[in-house]
Amino acid sequence: MPDTAVLSQAGIERSRQASLRFFNLYRLVLAGILLVTGAEFGLGREHPGVFTAAVFAYLGAILTLGFPDAGRRLGRERVIALQVVIDIAALAVIMWTSGGYRSGMPVLMMIVLAGGGLVAEGRMVMFFAALATLAVLFENAWRHAAGGGPGDFFQVGLFCAGFFGIALVSHLLARRAQANASLAAERGEALVKQQAVNERIIRDMQDGVVVASAGGRVRQANPQARALLGVGALEGRLLTDCDPNFEEVLTTCCDSKGRLLRLGPADRLLRCRTVCGETGAAADGDVLIYLTDFEDIQRDAQQAKLAALGRLTASMAHEIRNPLAAVTQAAELLQDERRQQTQERLLRIVGDNARRIEHMIRDVLALGRREHPHPETIPLQPFIADVLEERGFRRPDERALVVANIHAGLSLQFDRAHLQQIVDNLLDNACRHCSRTPGAVQVVARALMGGRVALHVRDDGPGLDERVRAHLFEPFFTTHARGTGLGLYIARELAGANDAWLESGPDAPGADFVLTGRS
């Protein structure tokens, strides 16, 4: 049986045991009252000897069946059923000796049925109601045969209907109580498991976690917090005793970004983030403090920078070697060449390769000193028109290639210089790979759900090969002989800095680059 079922059953059993104890106590008190004061209330006046014998027998049965030993030998369910049957039989005999239903015994039978519905299982409670009904009807029929009035059957019928109603209601209430006990046990077990999981997670966290009172006294701390602070125990101590700088941490409530401090005997550089209680003030509730080892973060970041710098240096050396060799060779040939036409060609080679090196270095420098963006609401239609007009002055042959189709109401939240650099780069790629026919490159914008806008730059070229698509935004990856391989990489970085993203859409039929940002 699962643990939840065991706990649920145990809770139900405890509830039934408590109800049964109170029910037995009620029986004992009732038998004592009938024995001591029954005659004073007019009970047993028609047959005093039978009344006295019935009360003594009832008291004896209560004492015999009320001990736990009876339940172990006969079975608890059998004992409960036997007790209720004896209650009904004893009350029926007392009713017969005391003048019928007017003696009040049917009311006591209702109490017995209500108690039986709480402690009995299954449909036994309906059997008890039927037994009480037969007893009352039989006693009233015998009394009617002895000369009772016809109106007695109506009163008795009401009592009998009440028997079944009370039995049914008490049984339903018992089932509901059992269901609630089962649910409480399941939720209790789930809560215990959840608490165990939470404690395990907090214990194994890489960050230190400290729970402090409003006065700065530590209530709980995980092992990582003790290790980061360099102390053996924290519980019960004042944080300011570990380090006076904690005074600054405790006075800052809900600092999600945190601050860098050197704390504790270990004197480690830690980032401290505080979360206060529900009241929102550190003086009114507990304070939750997260401690992150910032020295490890800085060390990892430095290693990542060094590794990236090594890859960048190797790539730069490889990329610069080819144009530099061409420049060197052209310069050597210029020294020996006397013809004007050949000199012009060699000078053009020198210029082209020098510009290629300069473009590569400019891209690398731009990658390293990317400025913080200053976003503004940019209407796309006039912005794209200005970009195309400027490109038309620089490259007159592109004026007929690019067609813009942008709705007047669309805009982007973007840094203007960043957006122009991204669009320029996408247009360079599109114009390079298109068919060079009028309208071969299209700039289209459309509104998306959630207040976003997608700007498409499409061409009618051959599209992107899957192998190329997989490395499209990697630095120094290019399919163009004179490309640096940094254009799309920098464009994506700039898009990310403006809370936007740049991706390659499906070929339709040529390449389709999509810039998606906030409207």
Per-residue pLDDT in tens (0 to 9) along the chain, 519 residues: 445 455 445 555 666 677 777 878 888 888 888 888 877 777 878 888 888 888 888 888 888 887 666 666 777 778 888 888 888 888 888 888 887 778 888 888 888 888 877 777 667 788 888 888 888 888 888 877 776 555 467 777 888 888 888 888 887 877 787 777 777 777 878 888 887 887 777 777 778 888 888 778 888 888 888 888 888 888 888 888 888 878 767 776 666 666 677 787 877 778 888 877 654 433 456 788 888 887 777 667 656 655 665 666 666 656 666 666 667 666 666 666 666 666 677 677 776 677 667 666 666 655 555 556 788 999 999 999 998 888 887 788 888 888 998 988 899 999 888 898 899 889 988 888 888 888 889 999 998 876 789 999 999 888 887 777 777 777 666 666 555 567 787 888 888 888 888 888 877 678 889 998 888
User: Which letter does DSSP use for residue 500 in this model?
Assistant: -
Q: Does residue 505 fall inside a structural domain?
A: yes
Are both 329 and 433 inside the same structural domain?
A: no
Last residue of a domain, one of 311, 335, 368: 368
C-alpha span between 293 and 343 (Å, rounded): 63
Q: Which two tokens stand for residue 428?
A: 């360079």
**288 and 306 within one domain:** no
Both structure tokens of 315: 């790539």
Q: Do 212 and 306 have their domain in common?
A: no
Secondary structure element (H or E) that encloses residue 247, with its range: helix 246-250
What angle separates helix 124-145 from helix 152-204, to the nearest 10 degrees? 170
How far does the chain reach from its first CA to its final CA, in angstroms?
A: 58
Structural domain span for residue 119: 3-185
Q: Considering the domain boundaries, does residue 450 fall inside one? A: yes
362 shares a domain with 385? no
Confirm whether 28 is domain-assigned.
Answer: yes
Residues 10 and 151 in one domain: yes
108 and 130 share one domain: yes
Q: Is the dihedral angle over the CA atoms 61, 62, 67, 72 positive or is it negative? A: positive
User: pTM to 2 decimals?
Assistant: 0.39
Task: Answer whether the bond into residue 265 is a cis peptide, omega within 30°.
Answer: no
Whether residue 511 lies inside any domain: the answer is yes
Same domain, 154 and 57: yes
Residue 197 placed within a domain: no
Distance (Å, rounded) from C-alpha 214 to C-alpha 188?
30
Q: What is the Cα–Cα distance from 141 to 337, expressed in whole angstroms?
A: 142
Domain count across the chain: 4
- Tell me, yes or no, whether 332 and 388 share the same domain: no
- What's the rounded Cα separation, in Å, for the pair 351 and 358? 10
User: Are both 280 and 304 inside the same structural domain?
Assistant: no
Same domain, yes or no: 215 and 165: no
436 located within any domain: yes
- Asked if residue 214 and residue 334 are part of one domain, the reply reads no
364 and 385, same structural domain? Answer: no
CATH of the domain at 462: 3.30.565.10
Indicate whether 422 belongs to any domain: yes
Q: Which of 266, 297, 328 is the last residue of a domain?
A: 297
Domain end position, chosen among 318, 352, 368 = 368
3-state secondary structure of 156: helix
Residue 190 placed within a domain: no
